[in-house]
Amino acid sequence: MSITQFLFYFLTVLALFSAVMVVVSKNPVHSVLWLIAVFFAISGHYILLNAQFLAIVNLIVYAGAIMVLFLFVIMLMNLNASTEPQKNNWLKLAGVIAGGCFLMVLVSLVKQANELNNIAVTMGTGEIGLIKNLGKALFNDFVVPFEISSVLFLSAMVGAVVIGKKA
């Protein structure tokens, strides 16, 4: 087993275990911390695919900024295991069925996608994830969608400021 394979399996197990722990944890703060572990594992996968920029941006944006805000809200509302509302069993059953259906749709989609058939993932190769190539692709081939999404971000920011001013 090469070191890449070893890392792949390690990160996969870590990601899946942490993801399960996010759902299973009774304490919301623990859930958030496990979710951060998931982001770390996924960033590790990005690095294995030679997409270093994506990996670090994933960490900065999701693990570094968004999850801090999650923690903020949970800590300020003082949610913990005892105050978490207990859902009744019917609701849990409905959740399991809905989630299972969604999983089935996703799996069948992946299975049928033509691009994914007969293609093995090659680790550590591919240059598109490096910042130079990514930047060139974003600013040459996809410049209009990129700019539109930046306008979207700007409007979201303005909206947040307006709401903040009202309160």
Partner 1 sequence: MTLLAVDWLLIIEKLILIAIIVFASLGIALYTTFAERKVAAVLQDRPGPNRAGPFGLLQPFADGLKLIMKEEIIPTSSNKALFVLGPGLAMTAALMTCSVIPWSSHIEIFDRKIDLQIADINIGILYIFGVVSMGVYGMMIGGWASNNKFSLMAALRGASQAISYELAMGLSLIAVLMLSGSLSLKTIVDGQMAAGSYWNIVYQPLGFIIFFVCALAECNRTPFDLPEAENELNFGYHQEYSSMKLGFYLFSEYINMIMSSAVMASLYFGGFDVPFLDESTLAPNIAAIIGVAALLTKIAIFIFVFMWIRWTVPRFRYDQLMNLGWKTMIPLALFNMLVTGALILLKAGV
Q: Angle at which helices 3-24 and 28-48 pack, to 10 degrees?
A: 160
63 binds partner 1 (CB under 8 A): yes
Q: How many residues does the chain have?
A: 167
Q: Residue count at the site for partner 1 (CB under 8 A)?
A: 23
23 DSSP assignment: H
Q: Does 53 bind partner 1 (CB under 8 A)?
A: yes
Q: Taking CB under 8 A as the rule, does residue 76 contact partner 1?
A: yes
Nearer to partner 1, 75 or 101 (CB): 75
Q: Does residue number 14 form part of the binding site for partner 1 (CB under 8 A)?
A: no
What CA dihedral angle connects 134, 136, 137 and 142, to 10 degrees?
120
Judged by beta carbon, residue 48 or residue 64, the one nearer partner 1 is: 64
How far apart CA 43 and CA 52 sit, in angstroms, is 8
CA distances, 88 to each of 25, 80, 84, 85, 95 (Å): 17, 18, 13, 10, 11
Q: Which of 57, 79, 123, 133 contacts partner 1 by CB under 8 A? A: 57
Phi/psi at 83 (nearest 5 deg)? Answer: -90, -5
Q: Which of 131, 138, 157, 160 touches partner 1 by CB under 8 A?
A: 131
d(CA 88, CA 70): 25
In this structure, what DSSP letter does residue 139 have?
A: I
- Least separation in angstroms between CB 1 and partner 1: 8
- Single out the residue of 14, 59, 79, 123 in contact with partner 1 (rule: CB under 8 A): 59
123 binds partner 1 (CB under 8 A): no
For binding to partner 1 (CB under 8 A), which residues are involved?
1-3, 27, 29, 33, 36, 52-53, 56-57, 59-60, 63-65, 68, 71-72, 75-76, 130-131
